[in-house]
Structure 1
């Protein structure tokens, strides 16, 4: 991708990039808080639309959704404009999620006849991915309220992964079942079913009636079995190595040793560790 070399354009691009990434200045914090709040409302609107609402309230929610999607579109364009490498930014997974999350709203708003079916079928399925936008806020350890530790960031990502897995599974299950299954009337019903299914409790009060609903349940359980232990293991591994020192044994290469170790526990070779007297 070409880069504009004029000083004015370069300065503007650097300014845009700085404030979209900044977590410390008042403006950077305000942008972070605003985007987080809008994202919460964006997801809440999706959930609210699955419940019985008056036409006026449904129309208000739709207007709010379009307005927020427009803000996110501006953010998306600004991220591409301010990026040092626009191609890398365009293909970045967070950026692609941002685009996919807002596309259904604009398709429903701009294409004739699509608005009438915006809450069913393909568009309903795709709209659940908007919750993935929250991952952008865990991209690094700096937040608008300060910097957190790596362990806290990993724990936050694990919690977010659990919530995203539950939310996306519930959204997909609702999309597949609500037309055919009288027990799945709202997003709350689908969310309850997914929590019960993933926890292997299985009360049996809600069961999938469609083939798609069954496969979504299977996929959600498999994802829970694979993804959650994988992320949890990172936290456990970090905690277990908290009191270790990263010094490689010159004989066998073992790189994690107790702080007071003078010999490698794997091969017995002498290792040398220098410590600050204050430690």
Structure 2
């Protein structure tokens, strides 16, 4: 007869899996970087599916695609839990709560159909992961970090609002036409162009337009500031921890501590 399984072996296997996932998610080895790049590509493809959801919803294969994406998202969430050193703290993070809600909309698309437009918030959730920006800082495009973050916020807002407008105002126009009308309305409202050929009816429509204009202008201003403001580098001051400084700064402008900002390699 075979010997009974040793509980310690199971425990060691689980611990080994968690250590491996930690190395892949948070490491800087070539294998870890390849894994992080692969997960980023998968996330971008999933976000593309979320954007196209209003145009695919009436197709017979939509539910199969929806459940397939749900399996991928569930596996990714489980891997992040295993890779975390503090699961309870991870559970309380807004990005994790958002990802769990997105998973719920994937598992119950018919019950939570009206909240499907919130799936695109995964783009914002993805942008909150420090690993992406840490890798960007190691490339020649590190100076564009603030611009990239502002673009992500603006794109997330545009697609979330477009999904909301399509769901609650243009659902009677199925497929591509209705979604393009929703996106067109959102862009013209955010930019305050206001051609007036597409408007939202009733008091709810007017209130939606007001909110979109106010938030949209704020995001555009944030993007303009990121593009046109003087360039600064990220270098924490050892004394006061101020993060941003001019590239040629010798002393911290907040506390006067002597800085040793490395020269640009380019």
Under TM normalisation by the shorter chain, which class is it? 0.7 to 0.9
When residues 20 and 243 of structure 1 are mapped into structure 2, their CA distance, relative to the original with a 3 A threshold, is closer
SS at match of 2:249: strand
2:24 matches 1:19:
yes
The Cα offsets for residues 133-159 of structure 1, whole Å up to 9 and x where unpaired, read as: 431456543349964654222121111
Q: Separation in 1 of the partners of 2:217 and 2:252? A: 34
The answer as to whether partners of 2:170 and 2:178 remain within 8 angstroms in 1 is yes
By how many angstroms is 1:49 displaced? 3.9
Aligned residue in 2 for 1:174 = 166
Q: 1:202 aligns with which of 187, 194, 205?
A: 194
The CA distance in 1 between the partners of 2:260 and 2:66, in whole Å, is: 58
Query: How far off is 1:211 after superposition?
Result: 3.6
Unaligned runs of 5+ in 2: 1-10, 233-244
Residue equivalent to 1:224: 216
In structure 1, stretches of 5+ residues that fail to align are: 1-5, 109-114, 257-271
Contact 1:176 1:210 in 2 (8 A): no
Q: Which residue of 2 aligns with 1:84?
A: 85
> Cα 1:145–1:246, aligned 2, differ >3 Å: closer, same or farther?
closer
- What are the equivalent positions in structure 2 for 1:1-279 lying under 5 Å apart? 8-22=13-27, 24-26=29-31, 28-33=33-38, 35-51=39-55, 58-108=59-109, 115=110, 119=113, 121=114, 123-136=115-128, 139-143=131-135, 147=139, 150-179=142-171, 185-230=177-222, 232-233=224-225, 236=228, 239=231, 242-247=246-251, 255=256
Contact persistence 2:171–2:178 (CA under 8 A)? no
Check 1:27–1:64 CA distance in 2 against 1; reply closer, same or farther (3 A cut). farther
Q: Deviations over 1:73-114 (max 9, x none)?
A: 111112112201112211223222222222111123xxxxxx
Deviations 1:157-205 (A, max 9, x none): 11111211111111111112114689x9522211111111111111111
Distance of 2:169 and 2:261 partners within structure 1: 61
Distance 1:92 1:205, change over 3 A: same
| 8 Å Cα contact 2:26-2:131 kept in structure 1 | no
Residues 56 and 62, structure 2, Cα contact 8 Å, conserved in 1: no
Distance 1:201-1:101 versus aligned 2 partners, 3 A rule: same
* Cα distance in 2 for residues equivalent to 1:254 and 1:138: 27
Q: Is the 8 A contact 1:176 1:212 kept in 2?
A: no
DSSP-derived class of the 2:195 partner:
coil
